């Protein structure tokens, strides 16, 4: 990171500690404002002000903020979109906070969770730690500030106790590299990584929002268009990973975050699989299971439960289909009293019909869901581009789907 110009603070008087701003703060209006004249008037004022910078040194930043203001206007001026956004605000917390501890693999040797010390006030590289937001047993996450620029970041730390295990170090190193290397709107942006006095760290964008599991648990099943939109955004982020030879292997509502602008961010690459062609150190090397099944039973593809090493992009497609079901119905497609019951249900029980569970689900969404959950991976969509086409059959995706299909399904010689 560099000593960067902060347009939110300099132009809109939104200090770093209040960033990323809510859409209401971005327009400079009161939270939950309903008057359309106020919303449009505020947006017009912001855009007119930003227009004065479009020919200056920071023209690109002014253009970016103008786009954000326009998008904020569109969301807040629509009753349905504003209601969906307000639900996200009600559940907002920093990304990484309150993650489900059961989803974190337990280290093979010690038998109890590592108790990492609080590092508030310490410095790692150019980052000053302010407070802990997630006391994870493997890698706690802190709110921190990039000292040269004042930018707020999330700082993930690998504790000394965890660093004693080679597999933990290799997994953390992979996460460091991938997060900082890949750039996509639906992936967490990595700023920097490094090591200070033997302690590894990863600095990423500070995302305020909520995960989809919390959103549905607190507010109930989502409107169909909102659920499909979130699924499409997740599919785009996953396709970016897949094109780089990375398979997530733990796609579920709790690992999909909605930020304050309504954008999906995919988190938690700890269980990811890396193909040999992935441009990441140690690619192709399959790490051990660390004493637990790879993934979460309610969202786990049958072939991944049988052999995590064989999982590919189609396992992520299956898990995303299970996630879509949860968003629309408030529960995953299969249940059971024990983990073994749930895994058996994925293998043996028929694929449920979303339209039978919820009558307003369009037929094309139900068909796409059924194919995403095919028991046989060969019967599913081959890659995420086909999922995008099925759920959002616009002409802009078709040419790309045909191009990439040649990559995933090369012609037989």
- In the chain, where the domains are located: 7-77, 96-101+111-205, 210-408
Share above pLDDT 90 across residues of the chain, in percent, rounded to a whole number:
53
**Average pLDDT, stretch 113-133?**
79
Of 1.10.287, 1.20.272, 1.20.144, 3.30.70, the CATH number of 7-77 is 1.10.287
* 169-184 pLDDT, tens digit each: 888 888 888 888 888 9
Assign 112 a pLDDT band (cuts: 50, 70, 90): very low
* 215-251 pLDDT, tens digit each: 999 999 999 999 999 999 999 999 999 999 999 999 9
- pLDDT at residue 208, as a whole number: 85
Residues 6+ apart with CB under 8 A from 279: 181, 244, 245
**Average pLDDT, stretch 151-172?**
85
**Average pLDDT, stretch 32-45?**
95
Of 51-60, 77-86, 100-109, 369-378, where does the model show the most confidence?
369-378
The CATH number of 96-101+111-205 is 3.30.200.20
Assign 106 a pLDDT band (cuts: 50, 70, 90): very low
**Does the structure show a pLDDT above 90 at 389?**
yes
Assign 253 a pLDDT band (cuts: 50, 70, 90): very high
* 294-344 pLDDT, tens digit each: 678 999 999 998 888 888 999 999 999 999 999 999 999 999 989 999 999
CA–CA distance, 162 with 115 (Å, rounded to integer): 10
Mean pLDDT, the chain, integer: 84
**Does the structure show a pLDDT above 80 at 357?**
yes
Share above pLDDT 70 across residues of the chain, in percent, rounded to a whole number:
84
- pLDDT at residue 116, as a whole number: 55
**Does the structure show a pLDDT above 80 at 94?**
no
**Does the structure show a pLDDT above 90 at 369?**
yes
Burial, 47: exposed, middle or buried (Cβ in 10 Å; 0-12, 13-18, 19+)? middle
- pLDDT at residue 109, as a whole number: 37
Assign 381 a pLDDT band (cuts: 50, 70, 90): very high
The candidate with the shortest Cα–Cα distance to 323, out of 392, 397, 257, 261, is 257
Of 2-11, 190-199, 254-263, 377-386, where does the model show the most confidence?
377-386
Buried b (16+ CB within 10 A) or exposed e, 167-203: ebeebbbbbbbbbbebebebbbbbbbbeeeeeebbbb
Q: Give me the CATH topology for the region 210-408.
A: Transferase(Phosphotransferase); domain 1 (1.10.510)
- Single pTM value for the model: 0.81
DSSP-assigned beta bridge partners for residue 190: 204
The candidate with the shortest Cα–Cα distance to 163, out of 199, 217, 112, 118, is 199
């Amino acid at each position: 990171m560099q000593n960067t110009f902060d347009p939110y603070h300099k132009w809109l008087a939104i200090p770093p500690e209040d960033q990323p701003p809510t859409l209401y703060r971005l327009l400079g209006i009161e939270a939950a404002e309903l008057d359309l004249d106020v919303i449009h008037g505020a947006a017009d004022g912001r855009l007119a002000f930003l227009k004065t910078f479009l020919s200056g040194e920071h023209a690109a930043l002014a253009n970016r903020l103008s786009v954000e203001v326009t998008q904020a206007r569109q969301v807040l001026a629509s009753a349905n979109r504003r209601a969906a956004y307000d639900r996200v605000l009600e559940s907002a917390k920093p990304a990484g906070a309150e993650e489900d501890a059961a989803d974190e693999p337990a280290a093979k040797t010690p038998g109890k969770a590592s108790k990492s010390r609080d590092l508030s006030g310490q410095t790692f590289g150019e980052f000053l730690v302010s407070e802990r937001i997630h006391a994870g047993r493997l890698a706690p996450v802190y709110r921190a500030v990039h000292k040269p620029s004042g930018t707020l970041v999330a700082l993930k730390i690998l504790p000394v106790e965890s660093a004693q295990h080679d597999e933990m170090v290799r997994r953390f190193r992979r996460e460091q590299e991938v997060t900082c290397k890949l750039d996509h709107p639906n992936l967490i942006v990595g700023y920097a990584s490094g090591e200070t006095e033997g302690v590894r760290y990863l600095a990423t964008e500070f995302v305020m929002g909520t995960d989809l599991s919390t959103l549905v648990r607190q507010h109930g099943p989502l409107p169909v268009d909102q659920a499909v939109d979130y699924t499409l955004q997740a599919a785009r982020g996953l396709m970016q990973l897949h094109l780089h030879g990375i398979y997530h292997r733990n796609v579920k509502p709790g690992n999909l975050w909605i930020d304050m602008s309504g954008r999906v961010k995919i988190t938690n690459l700890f269980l990811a699989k890396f193909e040999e062609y992935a441009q990441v150190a140690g690619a192709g090397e399959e790490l051990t299971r660390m004493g637990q099944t790879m993934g979460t039973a309610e969202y786990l593809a049958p072939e991944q439960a049988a052999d995590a090493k064989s999982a590919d992009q189609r396992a992520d497609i299956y898990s995303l289909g299970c996630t879509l079901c949860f968003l629309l119905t408030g529960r995953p497609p299969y249940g059971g009293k024990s983990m073994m019951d749930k895994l058996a249900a994925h293998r043996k029980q028929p694929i449920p019909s979303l339209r039978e569970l919820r009558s307003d689900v369009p037929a094309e969404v139900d068909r796409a869901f059924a194919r995403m959950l095919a028991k046989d991976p060969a019967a599913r969509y081959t890659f995420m581009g086909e999922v995008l086409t099925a759920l959002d059959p616009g002409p802009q995706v078709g040419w790309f789907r045909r191009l990439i299909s040649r990559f995933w399904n090369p012609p037989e010689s």
